[in-house]
């Protein structure tokens, strides 16, 4: 039986994670290490200046009082009996496309698996409805997990999966799109007179490039974007390398 590590950034009790665990039953030995509460938008952050407390909450399940990446690090180094064959992060409540990949704790937790040489996928359900049905996205994750375990995929690549709420069955491999939202700030003042803003985002454009993650979702299809751990932009490396001569000292 393959070993599969599940994690997320919505917290260990989140319905998306529970749906994923239920859907994967029988596919492997399932282990869960996840934050003890919602840690969405924590990106790849790790806790260095405080201890990271953790607690076993069920058989093969641990709640970690830290970030999603902390949870994966703990799982890989303390909790799992051996290296996982697959790391799955999700199912996140809300999409992780375009630039949101950089803020996402869901994507980061999967990427932590990739960093450590394990096959990993992030799975997100697009839409902000309060209590969405995660069953179709979780079932898709199982089909994908089965395929990934059988066929494997390149080292250093994480699969960022987004499933539309109204999925009809189509699947596209896509590129990460540009930012299509703008930051939205709502101002307020607390009872002590301190100013604050609530941060969120607003959709700015709807005409997206056809081969991108958002385009697939707008068409009602699953988007799978292979993301590279190595962020080097090779064309720029070649194009800009002559700068080195001009930047050299003495």
Per CB under 5 A, residues contacting Mn ion are 9-10, 40, 92
Give me the least distance between CB of 18 and Mn ion, in Å please: 14
Cα–Cα distance measured from residue 96 to residue 104, given in angstroms and rounded to the nearest whole number? 7
Strand partners, 94: none
Comparing CA positions, the residue from 98, 89, 88, 73 lying closest to residue 147 is: 88
Here the tokens at position 227 are 């993301």
* CB nearer Mn ion, residue 104 or residue 223: 104
Q: Please, which residue, 102 or 153, has the CB nearer to Mn ion? A: 102
Q: Which one, 28 or 68, has the nearer CB to Mn ion?
A: 68
Residue 16 Cβ vs Mn ion, minimum distance, rounded to whole Å: 8
Q: Residue 117 CB, nearest distance to Mn ion (Å)?
A: 25
In contact, 40 and 66? CB cutoff 8 Å: no
HSE (side-chain half, CA atoms, 13 Å) at 241 = 6
Residue 38 C-beta: closest distance to Mn ion, Å = 7
Name the residue number minimizing CB distance to Mn ion.
40
Question: Of 67 and 177, which CB lies nearer to Mn ion in the complex structure?
Answer: 67
**Structure letter (DSSP) for residue 178:** P
What residues pair up with 200 in beta bridges, in sequence order? Answer: 184
């Amino acid at each position: 039986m393959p070993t599969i590590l599940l994690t997320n950034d919505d917290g260990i009790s989140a319905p998306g994670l529970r749906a994923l665990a239920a859907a994967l039953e029988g596919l492997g030995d399932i282990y869960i290490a996840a934050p003890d509460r919602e840690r969405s938008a924590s990106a790849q952050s790790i806790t260095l200046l405080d201890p990271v407390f953790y607690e076993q909450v069920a058989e093969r399940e641990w709640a970690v009082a830290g970030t999603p990446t902390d949870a994966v690090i703990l799982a890989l180094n303390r909790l799992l009996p051996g290296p996982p064959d697959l790391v799955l992060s999700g199912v996140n409540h809300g999409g992780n496309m375009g630039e949101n990949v950089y803020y996402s704790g869901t994507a980061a937790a999967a990427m932590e698996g990739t960093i450590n040489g394990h096959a990993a996928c992030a799975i997100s359900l697009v839409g902000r409805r309060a209590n969405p049905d995660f069953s179709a996205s979780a079932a898709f994750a199982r089909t994908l997990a089965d395929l990934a375990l059988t066929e494997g995929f390149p080292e250093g690549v994480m699969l960022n999966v987004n499933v539309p709420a109204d999925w009809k069955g189509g699947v596209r491999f896509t590129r990460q799109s540009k930012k299509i939202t703008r930051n939205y700030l709502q101002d307020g003042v607390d009872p002590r007179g301190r100013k604050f803003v609530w941060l969120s985002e607003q959709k700015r454009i709807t005409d997206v490039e056809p081969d991108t993650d958002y385009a697939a979702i707008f068409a009602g299809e699953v988007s799978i974007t292979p993301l590279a751990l190595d962020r080097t932009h090779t064309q720029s490396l070649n194009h800009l390398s002559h700068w080195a001569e001009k930047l050299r000292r003495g």
